[in-house]
């Protein structure tokens, strides 16, 4: 699996060329071009054509390009998948309202078809299922482990609370169990897990507090709706100096053991197994990104 | 293929454009831009004609109102307007 660091994934409304063309300058690790909630029903075709051309011709640099398509039970689903894959240069598709492994399989089948039709490297386009219903939360492990194309799952707080019949609050107590469940499912399936948006773009303190919470729960990143939210989130996810030193010690020790044909490695007196090595790689990746910033 | 009904796509926001299409027997393109020179307007007209030809459109009156759009945006908006105009 290609290693990626996704501390922030920036939503960009799919029918806004001014924002789409600047997508890679804000410093987010990934962008999420949106065909779903931010696009009116009578503009779905225009947004699709625009996003496809942006991906095809804009030559974005050093950023993961993902598109949130419309849900599987809408008339836009098939066309969304076809047009954005035809554009080439797409990294991942975010599937909203993924309620079961069957939903993921339906998307996987379409991606297989269009990757072949448009001569895209087989298996290169990833799937990011979005868990935003009660049934989706309950089935999140089955969803997360339903396809080799999945390298992250994500939780959608607004739709989830609507589905639960409760209000989404700033404190987020109502989705704490769901967040924990989705994190556990992602860890069990060995994929990244991305948190929902923080809606109040003027409340930086609240954003930082929520990011600290979701980091402690095990989330690996967070969706954002405004470029101003990127830096505070990156600061919370930034590893300490000691963590960075430890991460490079682990990576060095692993490479040395590999050369010497040894299977067992210890760093600072503790055994290093694959999940710990993966954590070290993630921290090293974040340290690299911090240097670039 | 000819445009069979009036259609439009885009917006007048910055970095966007409006494309208006009307049925016509031949091709006629007119571009106006709030942010660029007459030379650039001619370039937009040439781009639109090239894209119409690529799409196989032989009859259309096209009016473009540009507000600083990239060529890739012009192409996307034109594609949308064409598909709306031949439905």
Smallest CA-to-CA distance from A29 within A80, A1, A64 is with A64
Position B41 in a domain: yes
Position B20 in a domain: yes
Classified as helix, coil or strand, B66 is strand
Taking an 8 Å cut-off on Cβ atoms, the answer to whether B80 and A49 are in contact is: yes
What percentage of chain B reaches a pLDDT higher than 90?
86
Bridge partner residues of A194 (DSSP):
A154, A221
**Residue B59 DSSP one-character state:** B
Position B15 in a domain: yes
Taking an 8 Å cut-off on Cβ atoms, the answer to whether B76 and A56 are in contact is: no
How confident is the prediction for chain B on average, in pLDDT?
94
CATH of the domain at B54: 3.30.230.10
Interface of B to A at Cβ within 8 Å reads 9-11, 13-16, 69-73, 75-77, 79-80, 83-84
Over residues A101-105, mean pLDDT: 98
Instruction: Pull the structure tokens for residue A55.
Output: 């991906």
Taking an 8 Å cut-off on Cβ atoms, the answer to whether A53 and B9 are in contact is: no
Nearest chain A Cα to B15, which residue?
A18
Position B71 in a domain: yes
Which residues does chain B have within 8 Å of residue A87's beta carbon, measured at their own beta carbons? none
At A2 the pLDDT is 46
Instruction: Pull the structure tokens for residue A54.
Output: 């942006």
What is the distance in angstroms between the Cα of A62 and the nearest Cα belonging to chain B?
20
| pLDDT, tens only, A130-175 | 999 999 999 999 999 999 999 999 999 999 999 999 999 989 999 9
- List the single residue in B69, B79, B83 with the smallest CB-CB distance to A17: B69
Give the number of domains in chain B: 1
Position B1 in a domain: no
Bridge partner residues of B32 (DSSP):
B65
- The predicted complex's ipTM stands at 0.95
Which residues does chain B have within 8 Å of residue A21's beta carbon, measured at their own beta carbons? 15, 70, 73
At B29 the pLDDT is 96
What are the φ and ψ backbone dihedral angles of A222, each rounded to 5 degrees?
Answer: -145, 140
- List the single residue in A15, A46, A53 with the smallest CB-CB distance to B72: A53
| pLDDT, tens only, A111-137 | 999 999 999 999 999 999 999 999 999
Smallest CA-to-CA distance from A66 within A96, A38, A30 is with A30
Taking an 8 Å cut-off on Cβ atoms, the answer to whether B77 and A52 are in contact is: no
By the 10 Å C-beta count (0-12 exposed, 13-18 middle, 19+ buried), A258 is classed as exposed
Position B69 in a domain: yes
Position B2 in a domain: no
Q: Which domain holds residue B66?
A: 7-85
Position B68 in a domain: yes
């Amino acid at each position: 699996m290609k290693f990626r660091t996704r501390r922030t994934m920036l939503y960009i409304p799919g029918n806004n060329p001014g924002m789409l063309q600047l997508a890679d300058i804000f410093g987010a690790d990934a962008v999420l071009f949106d065909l779903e909630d931010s696009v009116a029903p009578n503009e779905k075709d225009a947004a699709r054509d625009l996003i496809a051309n942006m991906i095809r011709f804009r030559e974005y640099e050093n950023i993961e390009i993902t598109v949130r398509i419309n849900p599987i039970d809408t008339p836009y689903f098939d066309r969304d998948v076809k047009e954005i894959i035809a554009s080439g240069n797409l990294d991942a598709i975010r599937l909203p309202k993924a309620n079961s492994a069957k939903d993921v399989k339906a998307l996987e089948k379409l991606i297989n078809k269009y990757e072949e039709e448009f001569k895209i490297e087989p298996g290169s386009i990833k799937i990011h299922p979005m868990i935003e219903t009660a049934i989706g939360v309950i089935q999140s492990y089955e969803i997360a482990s339903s396809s080799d194309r999945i390298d992250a799952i994500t939780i959608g707080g607004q739709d989830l609370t609507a589905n639960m019949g409760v209000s989404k609050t700033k404190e987020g107590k109502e989705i704490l169990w769901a967040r924990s469940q989705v994190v556990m499912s992602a860890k069990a399936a060995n994929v990244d897990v991305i948190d929902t948006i923080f809606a109040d773009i003027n409340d930086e303190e609240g954003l930082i507090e929520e990011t600290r919470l979701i980091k402690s729960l095990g989330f690996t990143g967070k969706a954002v709706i405004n470029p101003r939210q990127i830096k505070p989130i990156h600061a919370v996810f930034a590893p300490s100096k000691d963590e960075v030193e430890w991460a490079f010690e682990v990576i060095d020790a692993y490479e040395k053991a590999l050369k010497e044909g040894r299977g067992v490695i210890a760093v600072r007196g503790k055994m290093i197994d694959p999940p710990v090595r993966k954590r070290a790689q993630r921290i090293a990746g974040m340290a690299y990104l911090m240097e670039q910033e | 293929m000819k445009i069979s009904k009036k259609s439009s796509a885009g917006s007048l926001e910055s970095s966007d454009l409006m494309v208006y299409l009307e049925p016509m027997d031949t091709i006629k393109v007119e571009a106006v831009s709030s942010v660029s020179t007459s030379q650039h307007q001619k370039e937009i007209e040439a781009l639109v004609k090239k894209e119409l030809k690529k799409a196989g459109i032989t009859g259309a009156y096209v009016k473009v109102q540009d507000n600083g759009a990239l060529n890739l945006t012009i192409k996307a908006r034109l594609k949308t307007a064409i598909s709306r105009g031949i439905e």
